[in-house]
Amino acid sequence: MNRPAQAFQRIRSFVSSQVDVSRSLAQALQDRSINPYPYLKPLFEKAAGVREPPISPTPHSVVYTRGSMRLLRYAAPRRRYRTPILFVYSLINRWYILDFLPGRSLIEYLTRQGYDVYAIDWGFAGQGEQNLTWSELLGGHIRTAVRWTQRVSGSDDVTLYGYCMGGTMALAYTALHPEGVRNLVVQATPVDFSKGGIYSLWTQPQHFDVDSLVDAYGNVPTYVLESGFFMASPVQRITKWLDLCRQIDDPSFVTTFLALERWGADAVPFPGEVYRQYMRDCYQQNLFCRNQMEVGGERVDLGRIHCPVLNIIAEQDNIAPPAMSEPLEGLLVGTKDRQTMRFPVGHIGLSASSKSPVKVWPHIDGWMSQRSQPMEGGE
């Protein structure tokens, strides 16, 4: 085929792809679907010649279950550190963004550095979770996960690693239950909830009746959560699929894009009572930042945290903007070993960007390795 013919074919294919995408988006809107991923995925897999991306590729085992929660263990091929890492992820999305794709997995990277890694999979909140409280979440679920991590790893303490809302929970947990936490790492973590931009505005009492929502639904449905993220950037969430047509000849790009969209579409319900207090105390009254939030009748005072703390900020974060995370260092008056690292990536980029294995994760590893107990002779 000569060059003019090739150019014509590419233009024809591009226009055809744009039309197919527009039709699928129209069908998604007709079906009142918040997320168009299920409608568009087959089109792009066929056009790019790619298959289902291998999400969560790192081998793991389940070492503990409690209700819908599972504690996963990712054993190191050659363990160098006795101190294990326990990931606490958000209650909104699934944990496996931490174990994204081969070569793009933070968990895979850390196991190869010699850490014994554990992660809490919160599972799919059902009727048994709708009355779960912050006190039960921290003092029950996370505390038990810490103890099982200690037991299975053979370590007296852990590095607790929280991501997004999981970081807020990890901070609250460490303030209330400091025993067994050797180090604390928080990544893209909301602390000052008055700085959340449009999310802080939308969730104010005059705009948002959290009590009516939780009373009506119990657990907060996924489509309610998804609609908020969609309305924060509605145009971009549609046009990015049209932009993908321009990258259709790059299978790697298409695979990564579809993997991210698959993860984004795999939302889970938010436990109702945890959500109620989270919205009231954090977003509506900003009690967490003021050390005035109460859990189980006890005040969450971040000044009671005495272990080393690393605060990781994504400078291009539009979910937990840097201004939400920056005040943390000033609140950690109980520890002298506190550090903030900033990286020019987005919220998800900290754990899924192609740049992270070279420009982000080695710095985090360097901080943790200096504060983790080494194995005697390795395993």
Q: Note if 317 is an active site residue.
A: yes
**Pick the catalytic residue: 116, 121, 282, 347?**
347
**Chain position carrying tokens 């449905």:** 221
**Pick the catalytic residue: 141, 164, 192, 307?**
164
**Pick the catalytic residue: 116, 121, 317, 365?**
317
Measured in Å, how far apart are the chain's first and last C-alpha atoms?
Answer: 58
Residue 94 and residue 169 in contact, taking contact as beta carbons nearer than 8 Å: no
User: In sequence order, what are the residues at sequence separation of 6 or more whose Cβ sits closer than 8 angstroms to the Cβ of residue 248?
Assistant: 13, 14, 17, 44, 47, 48, 254
DSSP 303: G
Which tokens sit at 334?
């109980």
Half-sphere exposure of 8 (CA within 13 A, CB side): 5
Write phi, then psi, for 21 (nearest 5 degrees): -65, -45
Cα–Cα dist 45/339, whole Å: 43
- Among residues 181, 186, 143, 152, the alpha carbon closest in space to that of 73 is found at 152
Residue 315 and residue 325 in contact, taking contact as beta carbons nearer than 8 Å: no
Which tokens sit at 290?
């003021």
Cα–Cα dist 109/361, whole Å: 8
Cα–Cα dist 285/185, whole Å: 25
Cα–Cα dist 26/240, whole Å: 15
Q: Note if 245 is an active site residue.
A: no
Pairing of strands 294-295, 61-66: unpaired
Residue 158 and residue 137 in contact, taking contact as beta carbons nearer than 8 Å: no
Q: Note if 347 is an active site residue.
A: yes
At 159, which helix (H) or strand (E)? strand 158-163
Residue 248 and residue 17 in contact, taking contact as beta carbons nearer than 8 Å: yes
Cα–Cα dist 264/257, whole Å: 11
The rounded Cα 221 to chain-centroid distance in angstroms is 18
Q: Which residues are catalytic?
A: 164, 317, 347
